[in-house]
Amino acid sequence: SLVASAFAVSGATAITHPIDVVKVRLQISQGDNARADSFSMRRFLRFWPMLYRQEGYKTFFSGVGAATARASTYGAARIGLSEPLQLACGSKTLGALAAGVAATCVGNPFEVLKVRLQSCPEEANLGEIRALVTMVRREGVLVLARGFHWAASRSALLTASQIVPYDACKTGLKVHFGLADGVKLHCIASLAAGVVTTTVTAPVDVIKTRVMSSHSGQPTAILQMLKVEGPFVLFKGWLANYVRLGPQTLFIFIFYEQAR
């Protein structure tokens, strides 16, 4: 189960990584139109050529090595431990939450590096190993634990809101619509789970990204952020995140169903 999970999440991560870069850039943007950064298709589509013109195509692959390393550890634990922990806890939701928190323990250093490389072109230009060494040298080894509580919260919510709705949707489609177990059923259930996941995790994901991309290590002032940018700041990058999580959830569960 763990091997199948690692394969599934790593494959999905590599395919959707450029979208993740755009999502991170939207989340850390300081503009005054948080609603557009959250839900505007026009803003999302225009962001790609703008980023390309400013930084070139390589920026869309910033941190892809760290993302894949994170996927093969964090992703394997998050998906692979979910079923055993659900059985141990006697609850699908509690088991999924526990798996998400456990996964963050192994994946957080890679997550910090990934976000820093995605958000800062200067660091990405150093290369991943050199950027990691420089980051630790300047800010101390504890930088690798930065934003852990936000990452753990997001991971727990992500796992619960991905796995539980996926299972519920799959069961409902079988029972009420007579869909046979197969790729069609897995696709529909995955895309539906992606909507739930994106919405539930959005506020924590924005805060996590801002904390991890910070060089100061200072806590993010959430109330100040809301005051300056409005409530939609907590949903910045929602559309980009769904465009990423929808296919990613689809790829994860299709790879996982075929590999296990």
Q: For residue 252, which of 2, 6, 3, 1 has the smallest C-alpha distance?
A: 6
- Write the pLDDT tens digit of every residue in 51-104: 999 999 999 999 999 999 888 887 777 777 888 888 998 888 888 888 888 888
Residue 86 Cα distances to 94, 106, 166, angstroms: 7, 20, 15
Res 82: pLDDT: 81
pLDDT at 221 over 70: yes
Residue 8: HSE in the Cβ half-sphere, 13 Å Cα cutoff: 26
- Write the pLDDT tens digit of every residue in 143-175: 999 999 999 998 888 878 888 888 899 999 999
CA gap 41, 58 in Å, rounded? 23
Res 97: pLDDT: 83
pLDDT at 251 over 80: no
Model confidence pTM above 0.85: no
CA gap 42, 48 in Å, rounded? 11
End-to-end Cα, the chain, rounded Å = 6
Helix orientation angle between 183-213 and 148-177, rounded to the nearest 10 degrees: 170
155 neighbors 100 (Cβ within 8 angstroms)? yes
Res 218: pLDDT: 64
pLDDT at 132 over 80: yes
